Amino acid sequence: MDATLLFWHKRTSNRNANVHFSEYCLKHNVMILLFYLNFRSALTLKFRIRTIGNVSQRAWF
């Protein structure tokens, strides 16, 4: 128990390392979020093109 509290105190007392770690996590999460949104928008665009193609084919036939 004491070792855990001491370790926790060491981590919280080192402010620069915590700020750096949180900034790293924030940047990493933003990159993952951007990648996810880009991938999702590409999928929806592909689906929309396919549905528009189906509608135009139905109009032709």
Residues in the chain: 61
Domain regions of the chain by residue span: 2-60
pLDDT of residue 9: 53
Q: Supply 3's token pair.
A: 């070792």
Is the pLDDT score of 12 beyond 70? Answer: no
- Please write down the HEC assignment for all residues of the chain: CHHHHHHHHHHHHCHHHHHHHHHHHHHHHHHHHHHHHHHHHHHHHHHHHHHHHHHHHHHHC
What does the pLDDT average to over 29-49?
80
Mean pLDDT rounded to a whole number for the chain: 68
Contacts of 12 (CB under 8 A, 6+ apart): 18
pTM over 0.85? The answer is no
- Residues 23-32: pLDDT tens digits? 777 777 888 8
